[in-house]
Amino acid sequence: MKDRNFSEFTDEELILEFQCNGNEKAFEILVQRFKNPLTNYVYRFLGDYDSCVDVVQDTFVKVYRYKDNYSSLSKFSTWIYTIAGNLARTEYQRKRRRNFFSISSYGEEDKSFDIPDNSNRPDVAADMSIKSEIIQKALLKVRDSYREAVILRDIQELSYEEIAEIMKIEVGTVKSRINRGRAELQKYLKDIYND
């Protein structure tokens, strides 16, 4: 009876239930609610599905282990997005360093090298168009801080306030970053939009 009611709970109520009573059912519901949005967000930021899944899983592991660090003053979604964003940034930097030493040294400087592995790629599985693939590649060229803001606003459709809380910056800064990110993205995609 109680378990059935959990699905009606808000995110904050669920995490409080998990915090206070250690009810793992509440945690499972939170996982079900946030696994796909977080996967989408992290994938758009990293551009690699395998590492994206790892990052999202690590995010939930952190939520599980450090559940007491959550304060009810903020929204649960902003807290979990902050954790995922931090882990994604760390993973992206690690990947970039690894690529710099392994692949980039052999080729051109500006080009990004994605090793094609279509077996696990969700975009291929979902019959993704070429356009979306180009957009994703262009997105990865945008500066990290701009990209994060653009993804959170234009793909995840979060409010400016939520983004400001997640990125721990002012709303004005969020807006300017989104604007610059969009401009950069459009510059990279000029061949598509000129047509």
Partner 1 sequence: MNEEEKTYKKLLDDLKNLPKVDAPKNFEAELLRKINSSESEKKENFWEKWLSPGKLAPAAIAIASAAIIFFVVDINSEEMEDPLNIAPRLREDLAIVESIDEIQVTPLKKSGSVKEETKDINKGLLQTKEAEGQNGSDLGLDNQSDMKSNETENSISDDLISDKSDSDSFKAEETRSLGGSIAPSPVTTTASEINKDNINFMQRNLSTEEKKEVQQLKMKVQTEKSAKTQQNSNKLP
- For residue 95, state whether it binds partner 1 (rule: CB under 8 A): no
Dist. CA 78–CA 89, nearest whole Å = 16
186 sits near partner 1 (criterion: CB under 8 A) = yes
* Cα–Cα distances in angstroms (integers) from residue 34 to residues 11, 48, 88, 139, 162, in the given order: 10, 19, 15, 23, 15
Rounded Cα distance, 107 and 126, in Å: 31
Q: In whole angstroms, give the CA distance from residue 165 to residue 177.
A: 14
Residue 131 buriedness (CB in 10 A; 0-12 / 13-18 / 19+): exposed
Q: What's the min distance (Å) between Cβ of 44 and partner 1? A: 7
Q: Which one of residues 13, 28, 114, 144 is an interface residue with partner 1 (CB under 8 A)?
A: 28
Q: What is the DSSP letter of 118?
A: T
4 scored as a contact of partner 1 (CB under 8 A)? no
Which residue, 20 or 61, is less far from partner 1 as judged by CB?
Answer: 61
Compare residues 100 and 183 and give the one whose CB is closer to partner 1: 183
150 makes contact with partner 1 (CB under 8 A): yes
Residues in contact with partner 1 by CB under 8 A are: 28, 31-32, 35-36, 38-40, 43-44, 49, 52-53, 56-58, 60-61, 64-65, 122-123, 126, 128, 131-132, 135-136, 150, 154-155, 157, 179, 182, 185-186, 189, 193
